[in-house]
Structure 1
Amino acid sequence: MKMSKLLTLLLFCVVLATGLSLQCKQCAGLPYNCTESPQLCYINQTSCMSQSFTIVENGLVTEKTYKGCSQGLVCNETVYVDLGYKKTYISSQCCNTDNCNTGTYYNRVPVAALFCQTCQGNSGSCATSNLTSIQCAGVQDRCMTATTMYVNVSSSDVVIKGCGTGNLCGRRLEYNTGKGRVYTEVSCCGRTNCNQGLKTVTVNETTNDMSCYACNETGKGECTKPTTVRCTGNMTTCLDIQGFPRGNTLMRGCCSKDVCLGLSASLLIQASQKLYCCTGNLCNTGSVASYFNAGSTPAASGVLISVTTLLVLMKELLTLL
């Protein structure tokens, strides 16, 4: 009898240990910037879940993502509530292997009836009277306005409007490579043709405590000459873009944290090139090994955007090189 109880207890311990062996990523935050940490699941939590909430109210989009262990009761479901003035989308996705719920997860809002204003130009040519409407396709589930301010000897702006994806929204992309400073803000909304107005880009030129190595490689060895730049405003990170076709280093300088989340990398450099970010004065030494120390991260996975937008931003980048 005692032996039977002992075997039962041992069996329970084995089951308990097995249940606790599943490990998932946990976080709560924005879909494109949800800082993940490991979570050990309990015996009744057999799945890793990613859950996203999107609220579209008066044309404004609010998004949240939650990740962690789950009992699997609400896995792989989508809920849509339309109150007229307010639309709420909730979706979940589950998997059952260790740390399988990593990476960006966000709601893909139904787009069958979504139309957006489109243009490629500047604040003058993209005035409301010059806009045309296009129907979104595929996973393009937001109307988007991306406004970029280039600051050098003189200032100029570039405005892009059209359809985009939810993980573009709210991005602030700022970088300084010594030759010029670039400020980009991406705004989104969720109603038909809601992206009519123009957005003003916030430019903060106040220097902070950071300095980074800076260069623009054009094939003449510019990045072999050590120069530095003082970082300003939200630029609290150093970056290096490395790879083919221009030798070991293509571009170097200060940047905002959002640049390291993947949008800038996926739009402005080729697949054969890599963007690395690090924190600390003059940390972007150009040594690939240095980017795998604590506090250094490669750019996150790419995001989806139209080919025409990609070409426009590539063209603008080349004017700085």
Structure 2
Amino acid sequence: MKMSKLLILHLLFALLPAGLSLRCTQCTGLPYYCPESTQQCILNQTSCMSQSFTVVENGIITEKTYKGCSQGLRCNQSVYMDLGFKKTYISSYCCETNMCNNATVYARVPVAALFCQRCQGNSSTCATSNLTSVQCAGVQDRCMTVTTVYVNGSSSDVVIKGCGTGNLCGRKLYYNSGGVKMYSEISCCGYNNCNQGVNTVKVNETLNGLQCYACNETGKGECTTPFTTSCTGNMTSCVDAQGFPRGNTLLRGCCSADVCYGLSTSMSLQASQKLYCCTGNLCNSGNVASYFPSGSTMARGSVYIVVVTLLVLLGFRWTLL
């Protein structure tokens, strides 16, 4: 009986002394959320690869990321396909040391110059008559409107318009640190000066049964003795934002699922700080190990670095090994 080439490779690999083969980060998911595990490469896989796919079809942008071992046949390449009704962008990156492919990677999407309406104010001052136009640069391929409502007894709104590279599109970023509640929603469009309207953000104050520890650290030790707060609406997770590497808590409270992806511009956290999410009453106790499900192969795959810039969200898979 003939053995397959793959089986032979695995048998040969098993005979090698430990430590001679490559280990890579492995995952399939979204660029900003790709829970990782460790993949042991076989003999002919000499590189670790990160591959990202972007598809633009009928104005809708989707994206996916693949990470794993590779033979190095499609390394460090970018591919662009235009079918008229659909555009596809593919970028691959390779490296040759253990677990070197753990960075967040997006497909390279070169775009023509786009003009968008620009404003920073509120729903009144960012009305259509008060807008100016700005030319986007580089890979900024979306006009964006970010509308945020703050609720603390009374409510107020903040509106930001301009260019972006998109992955906040359609996101609903809600959080409550026990005082002011923030409801932020983002809309995008892809043709000149299309972002003229203002979003209507619906505030849901209905209790959902979840309770979380809450605090907002200002340097006076507020997060050393956090209190509890009741979550509302779509705030179905507890959040713990910590400084890094010191590990001091900066903020705790309730949040929506999109905040857990590390996409919140309004929380004003730096890239050196970490955002942890968990589910269950009072789960955000400050014990980071408890935030990860038992048996997870890599805790780092469940940690979301909060970025303060608008990135592009996109999702397609084409595995090039």
The answer to whether the superposition gives a TM-score over 0.5 is yes
SS at match of 2:153: coil
For residues 73 and 201 of structure 2, the distance between their equivalents in structure 1, rounded to whole angstroms, comes to: 44
Deviation digits for residues 180-210 of structure 1 (CA, Å, limit 9, x no counterpart)? 2212223334434343333333544343342
Alignment partner, residue 197 of structure 2: 197
Alignment partner, residue 180 of structure 1: 180
Aligned residues: 291
Q: Any unmatched runs of 5+ in structure 1?
A: 1-8, 307-321
Q: CA deviation at 1:156?
A: 2.6
Shift of the 218–25 alpha-carbon distance from structure 1 to 2, 3 Å rule, reads closer
1:127-276 map, 5 Å: 127-218=127-218, 222-223=222-223, 225-242=225-242, 249-264=249-264, 268-270=268-270, 275-276=275-276
Contact 2:22–2:41 (8 Å) recurs in 1: yes
For residues 96 and 65 of structure 1, the distance between their equivalents in structure 2, rounded to whole angstroms, comes to: 19
Q: CA deviation at 1:26?
A: 2.5
With the length of structure 2 as denominator, give the TM-score of the two structures: 0.75
Alignment partner, residue 116 of structure 2: 116
Q: CA deviation at 1:91?
A: 1.6
Deviation digits for residues 200-221 of structure 1 (CA, Å, limit 9, x no counterpart)? 3354434334211123344555
RMSD (Å) for aligned C-alpha atoms: 3.5
Shift of the 283–265 alpha-carbon distance from structure 1 to 2, 3 Å rule, reads farther
SS at match of 1:260: helix
Question: Which is further off, 294-303 or 38-47?
Answer: 294-303
SS at match of 2:100: coil
Alignment partner, residue 305 of structure 2: 300
Alignment partner, residue 76 of structure 1: 76
With the length of structure 1 as denominator, give the TM-score of the two structures: 0.75
Shift of the 189–241 alpha-carbon distance from structure 1 to 2, 3 Å rule, reads same
Question: Which is further off, 235-244 or 148-157?
Answer: 235-244
Q: CA deviation at 1:301?
A: 5.4
Deviation digits for residues 100-140 of structure 1 (CA, Å, limit 9, x no counterpart)? 22232112321342222221122333333432221223453
- Percent identity of the aligned residues? 69
For residues 159 and 13 of structure 2, the distance between their equivalents in structure 1, rounded to whole angstroms, comes to: 60
Contact 2:78–2:89 (8 Å) recurs in 1: yes
Structure with greater helix percent? 1
For residues 266 and 17 of structure 1, the distance between their equivalents in structure 2, rounded to whole angstroms, comes to: 51
Q: Any unmatched runs of 5+ in structure 2?
A: 1-7, 293-298, 312-321
